[in-house]
Amino acid sequence: MDRKTIAFIGGGNMGEAIISKMVSSDWKGTDIHVIDHNEERLEHLASAYGVHTHKEPGSWLAEIDAVVLAVKPQQLPDAINASKEWIEDALVISIAAGVRVKDLEAMIGHNCICRTMPNTPMKIGLGVCGLYSTPEAEPDHRFIVKVFAACGDLIWCTKEEELDGVTAISGSGPAYVFRFIEALTEAGLRYGFNDVQAKRMAIATVLGSAELAKRSGESPSVLREKVTSKGGTTYEALKVMNDRHFMEMMQDAMDACKKRAVELGDAFHESVEASNK
């Protein structure tokens, strides 16, 4: 099926981030629809991106080729129930964290579904987005890529549970990096630099190091070793990190994140089952 039009159920920050990158690439605003109860949000989206806006779903939705579920998980059942009768033939893309395909299928009534796990840097086109689709949605992979291509790197998962790993690494990963930037900035302040200088050094260090890792072709461990001379300043800093089990701490943190993603998925599944009894 040659899909061309798309509707976002939810016009919040993440939905807008995707829309903004779509219209900055080769999408026409007139091919994009947004449903949201917030009139101010709708006015903003229409003005900024030239999209069609709606306060409620309606029969017009039956003419739309694909639907993006861009609401919080707790809002998802009501959003789907309000739209269900008009999306029987639509590809359904979900950005709701932790909501599994089997639960989406139970609520929607069909299984042409793609789950995604984007992260916040997609707002500037430098994000990572994990994707998993049902076999029924595989013919739509090119269309799905077209939706997310301008957002950053796309990682296709072969198993749905891999999305929990994506959540732990790239989904929540920006928060880990921001925390590290906070630590570098605070050190700068303690060493007598002003706030602007400390923040510039911290961000430039992370940005430059990431770009070097991307361009060099060498592993992060090799790049780290090239900066580290035994008995030197970097060696002493890394020794403190090693003594305090930095790598184990980070692994524990990501394991806790992944575990919580599974728990949230389980809890949502239980709520869907309870509502169907």
Asked if the structure places residue 199 within a domain, the reply is: no
Helix axes 246-276, 101-108, angle to 10 degrees: 20
**What 3-state DSSP class applies to 24?**
helix
Asked if the structure places residue 226 within a domain, the reply is: no
- % of the chain beyond a pLDDT of 90: 93
- pLDDT computed for residue 275 by the predictor: 81
Query: Residue 166 contacts by C-beta under 8 Å, 6 or more apart in sequence?
Result: 117, 128, 130, 155, 157
Give the Å distances, CA to CA, from 268 to 71, 169, 171, 204, 258.
14, 22, 19, 40, 16
pLDDT digits (tens, 9 = 90+) for 186-241: 999 999 999 999 999 999 999 999 999 999 999 999 999 999 999 999 999 999 99
pLDDT digits (tens, 9 = 90+) for 153-178: 999 999 999 999 999 999 999 999 99
Query: Which CATH number does the domain housing residue 107 bear?
Result: 3.40.50.720
Asked if the structure places residue 204 within a domain, the reply is: no
- pLDDT computed for residue 176 by the predictor: 98
pLDDT over threshold 70, residue 1:
no
- The whole model's pTM is what? 0.91
DSSP string for 148-177 = HGGGEEEEE-SSTTHHHHHIIIIISHHHHH
Mean pLDDT throughout 251-273?
Answer: 93
Residue 139's identity, in one-letter code, is P
pLDDT over threshold 80, residue 140:
yes
Assess contact for 69 and 80: CB atoms under 8 A.
yes
Mean pLDDT throughout 20-42?
Answer: 94
Asked if the structure places residue 228 within a domain, the reply is: no
- pLDDT computed for residue 163 by the predictor: 96
Mean pLDDT throughout 252-259?
Answer: 97
Asked if the structure places residue 264 within a domain, the reply is: no
The domain in which residue 13 lies consists of 6-158
Q: How many domains does the chain have?
A: 1
Asked if the structure places residue 271 within a domain, the reply is: no
pLDDT digits (tens, 9 = 90+) for 48-84: 999 999 999 999 999 999 999 999 888 999 999 999 9
Asked if the structure places residue 207 within a domain, the reply is: no
Taking all residues of the chain, what is their mean pLDDT, rounded to a whole number?
Answer: 95
- pLDDT computed for residue 227 by the predictor: 96
- pLDDT computed for residue 8 by the predictor: 97
Asked if the structure places residue 91 within a domain, the reply is: yes
